[in-house]
Amino acid sequence: MADLSVKICGVEFKNPVIAASGTYGFGREFDDIYDISQIGGISTKGLTNEPRLGNPVPRIAEGHGVILNAVGLQNPGVEHFIKYDLDFLKSKGIAIIANVAGNTLEDYGKICKKLDGLVDMVELNISCPNVHAGGMALGIKPKNIEEVTELAKSNLKKTPLMVKLSPNVESISTNAKAAESGGADCVSLVNTFMGMVIDLEKRKPIIANNTGGVSGAGIKPIALRMVYEAAHAVKIPVVGMGGIMTGKDALEFMCAGAKAVQVGTANFADALAMPRIIKEMNDWLDKHNIASVNEIVDTLKLN
C-alpha cells in the first residue's frame, strides 16, 4: 500500500483526506456509520464565541450537480465544543482543525485565544457567503484579510493558523498572498460560491435567505483552477477543496499543488464517501507504482 501520510505546518495527518467544515458536524454522527479514525482529519463545524441558531429555513436547496446552503453558522459555541466534543475527537487520533468565525475582528482574536494549544490547527473562516456581518466583508479585500489574519495569529502562540479563502473575489492569488503576509501558516480553498435557486411556480428563491453558498461536483473545475493559482502564488502550504467526490478528484487537487484536501458535499451524497475516497486514492497510487502520495503534489504539466 502507498504511504498516504502528509505533514502540514508540523501537523501529522495519517492521510490527506480531511472532513470539510459544516459538512461533518463534530464527527459523532458519522462515527455511528464508520470509525472516523480512518480519516486524516476534521475541520469542525464553524465555531463562534457564542452559540448561534443560524438562518431561517429552508436553508438547503439542490441545483444541477450542486447544493446551496445558507445555514448561517449554526453552532453550540466554542465553550460547548471544548467541554463536550474535543475529547471525543482526540480519542479518534485524527488531526483536529477548529474552524472559527466572528462578526468582528475582536471576535476572531477571542476565539483563537480560547483554542490556542487545544487543537492541532485553527482554520479562519473569513469567506462564508451567507453571513451578513463579518465573513464576506473580511474575506474579499486583501487588506482586510491581512488584518484579520494578523490578529488571529497574534492570539495563537502554539497552534498553526489556516486561512480559508473565499472564491468570490477578484484575484485568488492576491488574497492568498494577503493571508501569507498576515502570518498564515497555510491557506485552504475554495469556500462556496454565491448562488441562487428559484421556485418558478412561486417565483421566489427556494432558500429563505434568497442566496446561498454553492458547493458540490459542479464547482470542481473552478476550484481546481483557483487552487492551482493560489499554490503557485504563495510559499505556504495549500489545502484544496471544491467538488471532490472521488479519489481521483482528490489526487487532481494535489497534482495542482494542494498538500491535502477537504471533502464536504460528497458526505451528503454518500455517508461513506471519505473512507471510499481514501481507498480509491491508495488504489490509484498502487496502480501507478507511486510509493507516497506526496510524490504527486504539484506535478501538473501545463500545455
Active-site positions read 128
Q: Distances from the Cα of 260 to the Cαs of 12, 41, 206, 236, in angstroms?
A: 11, 10, 34, 13
Q: Are 137 and 170 in contact (CB under 8 A)?
A: no
Q: Where are the alpha helices (DSSP H) in 92-205?
A: 105-115, 135-140, 142-154, 172-181
Q: Torsion over CA of 175, 178, 179 and 184, rounded to 10 degrees?
A: 150
Gap between the Cα atoms of 253 and 225, Å rounded:
9
Query: What are residue 241's DSSP bridge partners?
Result: 262
- Give the number of other Cβ atoms within 10 Å of residue 294's Cβ: 17
